[in-house]
Amino acid sequence: MSCLRYPISGTKLRMSERFTAIYHVHSDAASIEARARGIAVEQSVEMPVEGIEDVGVLEGIVGRVEGIAGIGPGVFEVRVGLAVATVLGADGRADAGQLFNMLFGNTSIQEGVSLVDVELPAHVVDGFGGPNWGIAGWRARVGAERRALTNGALKPQGLAPEGLAAIAGRMARGGIDLIKDDHGLADQAYSPFAARVAAVAAELGRVAGETGKRTLYVPSLAGTLDDMRGQVRMALGVGVEAFLIAPVIAGMNTFVALVREFPQAGFMTHPTLSGIARIAPPLFYGKLFRMMGADAVVYPNHGGRFGYSPATCAALAGAARGAWGHVKPCLPVPAGGMTLERVGEMLDFYGPDTIVLIGGALLAARERLTEEVAAFVDVVARHRFQ
Amino acid sequence: MSCLRYPISGTKLRMSERFTAIYHVHSDAASIEARARGIAVEQSVEMPVEGIEDVGVLEGIVGRVEGIAGIGPGVFEVRVGLAVATVLGADGRADAGQLFNMLFGNTSIQEGVSLVDVELPAHVVDGFGGPNWGIAGWRARVGAERRALTNGALKPQGLAPEGLAAIAGRMARGGIDLIKDDHGLADQAYSPFAARVAAVAAELGRVAGETGKRTLYVPSLAGTLDDMRGQVRMALGVGVEAFLIAPVIAGMNTFVALVREFPQAGFMTHPTLSGIARIAPPLFYGKLFRMMGADAVVYPNHGGRFGYSPATCAALAGAARGAWGHVKPCLPVPAGGMTLERVGEMLDFYGPDTIVLIGGALLAARERLTEEVAAFVDVVARHRFQ
């Protein structure tokens, strides 16, 4: 089998273009070179290189170890160059699922390795399109020019649409900017998506008519791509413009398809089922979800019910909203057991380009819900950044 | 807010029905009760229980700790009862994505906990429908009544359709039962799905015409649900009936939708991007993928490039093909660095209801590929089980 007999399609230039995946690997120094080569092969051709006869594949496709650096006792940073052509679809744009597949597919099942970063050519990044709204889109819709945004969660699971709408109305009367569904709210018989969205949208419209303050509802999408398309269309029809989606459950390409099909909509991602530590959170939620279209990314803040460190959270927020070519910035949404008492500290940590999400702690106020929300809104509005 | 004011839809019976999620939790004995209650709340209402006013939610929806048992030093098995209603769609059938969400969503992001099993009511299991073909379907199509099935992998990434078709033809001449795409083959410009499937199907048809032995091609699906539907239809049109899909990348509901929309097709799952250890492999690949429609499940065999133990592999195979109500059995496909030398041992370990997959090691034979495949086929055919 010669190179000529099985030619590679596409130009030589395209075939030789690489992106870089960066891994942290636990290994002893004697084994790290072989381990790094193993990852480079696993994430590209996944077969013994000596079995490959095609020169084009050997030169253009087989992963290359670009660097190995010790970063701690028994831990190495390994840089692997992978062929851009392996993640491009026939239309020349990168496929989101295939990008994750080539970055970390089989290697995710191996011990002692995590994916910490990826460096992509600008045309791959721009091919995804990034967020529809960006930070400016959220700010314009809730009338907040500079301050942080306030966000409550609609719960508990199990309430009927009218019950959820009543809670949403009481939160809106406190002046909150956003109300997102609990990510467990799907299309259950006790609270079908369409009935819930219609009831909540009507209630929020009523409150806005009285108070003059618009509260955005962010319902949670569920089911297949078809189901979600139907849900988005229904919601847009009653004036709901932003949506919560869990890319790990929906599938990366389902998420990207919705973002691109509904350019007028905003998308907030939820990390449910994403596991920990195997893909670095700043890369996963901050960089990749943003690139694929997240206008806002929910993640577990440090000091709550989850184990992220302050450094991880700061890096994640930086990746979500930092300058990045043509890609609009995305709002970080630190969450997971946040309380009113922590708002000041969170604002000083994250700054104003942040959505502060307090879920259950607001609802625990029960009959004082509106007052508790008003206090939350007031703390955010009056905060002076250090 | 009273129970009457926000009534729960659905019957009392349905609302009180529970399924059981079983976790292994690392904890000290003093903290395990609180930790278990924390998981039960996180995976159900995700808010302080004292904030819930609705009696129906408190009694019917809030997760219940059903049991805690020490299973080793600092490790506990925790059984949590969750409401079946939370995973059912408006049509009364369980939603695959929502099932994973309620089983392990946010808890997957916490340290020291893994999901090891789930006990579901029969109507939930039957609602998914299980495999289309089951073991009998594979056996009938390749003409193997009792023996294990042989499977090769089409690689490397980067070859054009003609190159891949030539390799497939050489494997087929050796008498192999199945040829699956490398999971990295998607819809790249250098090997678009339709061109690849047409070329491979034509070559396999030519070989079958000469040898009288049918080899099934199992191409890898990529992209969105829409893309995959188009790929399945195209492939069925040229006589290709079985498909490789990575549910973690595609999304659980994308996988289930395809299985149900194409009842004539067989589906083999690939574990790429599934990580390790956070969801027990026998549950994830063996039980849940089977329930959702896998006719065959690829997973890393012990002693290869991945870290699964023999016990994990045996449990996984048992879950995939053991008796389970109306759900057809599914063939285990142990893989990941297997070689001809290991076939005898693998057959004795797994028995005949198995697909033995050798990928790169066959291809490493290069010009002797057909002979190497024939030797593999011969070892499987002549094996006498101990």
Beta-bridge partners for B117: B22
Judged against a pLDDT cut of 50, whether residue B294 lies above it is answered with: yes
The predicted model gives A194-220 an average pLDDT of: 97
- For residues B87 and B93, the answer to whether their CB atoms sit within 8 Å is no
Q: How many angstroms separate the CA of residue A172 from the nearest CA in chain B?
A: 17
Give pLDDT tens digits for B332-349: 999 998 999 999 999 999
Q: Report yes or no: B61 at the A interface, CB cutoff 8 Å.
A: yes
Pairing of strands B242-245, B216-218: unpaired
Q: What percent of chain A has pLDDT over 90?
A: 84
Judged against a pLDDT cut of 50, whether residue B297 lies above it is answered with: yes
Which of A225, A275, A366 is opposite residue B254, by nearest beta carbon? A225
Which of B98, B109, B225 is opposite residue A306, by nearest beta carbon? B109
B189–A90 CB contact, under 8 Å: yes
Q: Which fold has domain B12-128?
A: Alpha-Beta Plaits (3.30.70)
Q: What is the pLDDT of residue A13?
A: 43
3-class state of residue B150 by DSSP: strand
Q: How many A×B Cβ pairs under 8 Å?
A: 353
Q: What is the rounded CA–CA span in Å between residue A290 and residue A327?
A: 8
Q: What is the rounded CA–CA span in Å between residue A206 and residue A187?
A: 24
- For residues A189 and B90, the answer to whether their CB atoms sit within 8 Å is yes
Q: What is the pLDDT of residue A16?
A: 82
Interface probe, candidates B45, B62, B221, B312, chain A, greatest A C-beta count within 10 A: B45
B48–A364 CB contact, under 8 Å: yes
Chain centroid to CA A106: how far? Answer: 22
Q: What is the pLDDT of residue A304?
A: 87
Q: What is the rounded CA–CA span in Å between residue B238 and residue A89?
A: 22
Q: Would you tell me which residues 70-109 of chain B have a C-beta closer than 8 angstroms to some C-beta of chain A?
A: 83, 85-86, 88-90, 92, 95, 97-98, 100-102, 104-106, 108-109
Structure tokens at A239: 């004036």
Q: What is the rounded CA–CA span in Å between residue B376 and residue B383?
A: 11
Give pLDDT tens digits for A164-202: 999 999 999 999 999 999 999 999 999 999 999 999 999
Q: Which residues of A11-36 are buried (b: 16+ CB within 10 A; e: fewer)?
A: eeebbebbbbbbbbbebeeeebeebb
Judged against a pLDDT cut of 90, whether residue B7 lies above it is answered with: no
Judged against a pLDDT cut of 70, whether residue B276 lies above it is answered with: no
**pLDDT band at residue A276 under the 50/70/90 scheme:** low
A364–B50 CB contact, under 8 Å: yes
Sign of the C-alpha dihedral computed for residues A224, A226, A231 and A236 taken in this order: positive
Q: What is the pLDDT of residue A199?
A: 98
Give pLDDT tens digits for B217-241: 999 999 999 999 999 999 999 999 9
The predicted model gives B41-62 an average pLDDT of: 93
A48–B361 CB contact, under 8 Å: yes
Q: What is the DSSP string of B206-225?
A: HHHHHHS---EEEPBP-SSH
Greatest Cα pair distance, chain A, in angstroms, is: 76
The ipTM assigned to this model is 0.88
Give pLDDT tens digits for A329-363: 999 999 998 999 999 999 999 999 999 999 999 99
Question: DSSP 3-state helix, strand, coil percentages of chain B (rounded to 5)?
Answer: 45, 20, 35
Q: What is the rounded CA–CA span in Å between residue A177 and residue A168?
A: 11
3-class state of residue A259 by DSSP: helix
Interface probe, candidates B41, B50, B57, B106, chain A, greatest A C-beta count within 10 A: B106
Domain boundaries, chain A: 12-128, 134-382
Q: How many angstroms separate the CA of residue A284 from the nearest CA in chain B?
A: 13
Judged against a pLDDT cut of 70, whether residue A263 lies above it is answered with: yes
Interface probe, candidates A84, A249, A259, A260, chain B, greatest B C-beta count within 10 A: A249
Q: What is the pLDDT of residue A383?
A: 96
List of chain A residues whose C-beta atoms are within 8 Å of the C-beta of residue B88: 188-189
Strand ranges inside chain B, DSSP E:
18-26, 64-72, 75-83, 113-119, 149-154, 178-181, 216-218, 242-245, 266-269, 296-300, 331-335, 355-358
Q: Would you tell me which residues 14-43 of chain B have a C-beta closer than 8 angstroms to some C-beta of chain A?
A: 14-15, 38, 42
Burial class (CB in 10 A: 0-12, 13-18, 19+), A228: buried
Which of A86, A90, A361 is opposite residue B157, by nearest beta carbon? A86
**pLDDT band at residue A12 under the 50/70/90 scheme:** very low
A257–B97 CB contact, under 8 Å: no
**DSSP 8-state symbol, A208:** H
Residue A277 zone, left/alpha/beta (φ > 0; ψ -120 to 50; rest): left
Q: What is the rounded CA–CA span in Å between residue A347 and residue A32?
A: 42
Q: How many C-beta neighbours within 10 Å does residue B166 have?
A: 19
The predicted model gives B1-25 an average pLDDT of: 61
3-class state of residue A301 by DSSP: coil
Q: Would you tell me which residues 303-332 of chain B have a C-beta closer than 8 angstroms to some C-beta of chain A?
A: 305-307
Give pLDDT tens digits for B95-124: 999 999 999 988 988 889 999 999 999 999
Q: What is the pLDDT of residue A279?
A: 84
- For residues B342 and B308, the answer to whether their CB atoms sit within 8 Å is no
Which of B89, B223, B365 is opposite residue A89, by nearest beta carbon? B223
A365–B51 CB contact, under 8 Å: yes
Which of A85, A153, A360 is opposite residue B48, by nearest beta carbon? A360
Q: How many angstroms separate the CA of residue A52 from the nearest CA in chain B?
A: 7
Beta-bridge partners for B382: none
Judged against a pLDDT cut of 50, whether residue B169 lies above it is answered with: yes
List of chain A residues whose C-beta atoms are within 8 Å of the C-beta of residue B273: 100-101, 104-105, 108
Judged against a pLDDT cut of 90, whether residue A386 lies above it is answered with: no
Q: What mean pLDDT, rounded, does chain A reach?
A: 92
Chain A residue nearest residue B61, CA to CA: A158
Q: How many angstroms separate the CA of residue A213 from the nearest CA in chain B?
A: 25
In the block, tokens 């995804």 appear at A128
Judged against a pLDDT cut of 90, whether residue A275 lies above it is answered with: no
A225–B224 CB contact, under 8 Å: yes
Angle between the N-to-C axes of helices B225-237 and B252-261, in degrees from 0 to 180, rounded to the nearest 10: 30
Residue A301's alpha-carbon distances to A290, A337, A369, B126, B206, in angstroms, are: 18, 8, 23, 39, 59
Judged against a pLDDT cut of 60, whether residue B12 lies above it is answered with: no
**pLDDT band at residue A99 under the 50/70/90 scheme:** very high
B184–A101 CB contact, under 8 Å: yes
Angle at A45 between CA A44 and CA A51, to 5 degrees: 150
Q: What percent of chain B has pLDDT over 70?
A: 96
Q: How many angstroms separate the CA of residue A64 from the nearest CA in chain B?
A: 14
Q: How many C-beta neighbours within 10 Å does residue B333 have?
A: 26
Q: What is the pLDDT of residue B274?
A: 83
Judged against a pLDDT cut of 80, whether residue A11 lies above it is answered with: no
Which of B52, B271, B363 is opposite residue A109, by nearest beta carbon? B271
- Cα dihedral value B170, B174, B179, B181, nearest 10: -30
The predicted model gives B353-375 an average pLDDT of: 95
B159–A365 CB contact, under 8 Å: no
In the block, tokens 């184990």 appear at A307
Q: What is the rounded CA–CA span in Å between residue A324 and residue A122?
A: 10
Higher pLDDT: A274 or B289? It is: B289
Q: What are phi and psi of A31, to 5 degrees?
A: -100, -10
- For residues A17 and A121, the answer to whether their CB atoms sit within 8 Å is yes
Interface probe, candidates B5, B87, B224, chain A, greatest A C-beta count within 10 A: B224
Which of A110, A158, A224 is opposite residue B257, by nearest beta carbon? A224
B158–A274 CB contact, under 8 Å: no
B90–A275 CB contact, under 8 Å: no
Domain with residues B134-382, CATH architecture: Alpha-Beta Barrel (3.20)
Q: How many angstroms separate the CA of residue A155 from the nearest CA in chain B?
A: 7
Structure tokens at A219: 């319902």
Q: What mean pLDDT, rounded, does chain B reach?
A: 92
Q: Report yes or no: B223 at the A interface, CB cutoff 8 Å.
A: yes
Pairing of strands A149-154, B178-181: unpaired
Among A4-8, A212-216, B172-176, the minimum mean pLDDT is found in: A4-8
Which of A191, A224, A306 is opposite residue B254, by nearest beta carbon? A224
Q: Would you tell me which residues 191-220 of chain B have a C-beta closer than 8 angstroms to some C-beta of chain A?
A: 191-192
Judged against a pLDDT cut of 60, whether residue B151 lies above it is answered with: yes
Which of A44, A106, A227 is opposite residue B272, by nearest beta carbon? A106
Judged against a pLDDT cut of 80, whether residue B150 lies above it is answered with: yes
Q: Report which of B95, B249, B47, B50 is spatially closest to residue A181, judged by C-alpha positions.
A: B47
Structure tokens at B258: 């395809």
Q: What is the pLDDT of residue A273?
A: 87
Chain A residue nearest residue B304, CA to CA: A110
The predicted model gives A252-277 an average pLDDT of: 90
Q: What is the rounded CA–CA span in Å between residue A115 and residue A106?
A: 12
**pLDDT band at residue A10 under the 50/70/90 scheme:** very low
A56–B158 CB contact, under 8 Å: yes
Which of A188, A251, A366 is opposite residue B88, by nearest beta carbon? A188
In the block, tokens 């993928």 appear at B289
The residues near B308 (Cβ < 8 Å, ≥ 6 apart) are: B281, B299, B300, B301, B302, B316
Give pLDDT tens digits for B237-253: 999 999 999 999 999 99
3-class state of residue B299 by DSSP: strand
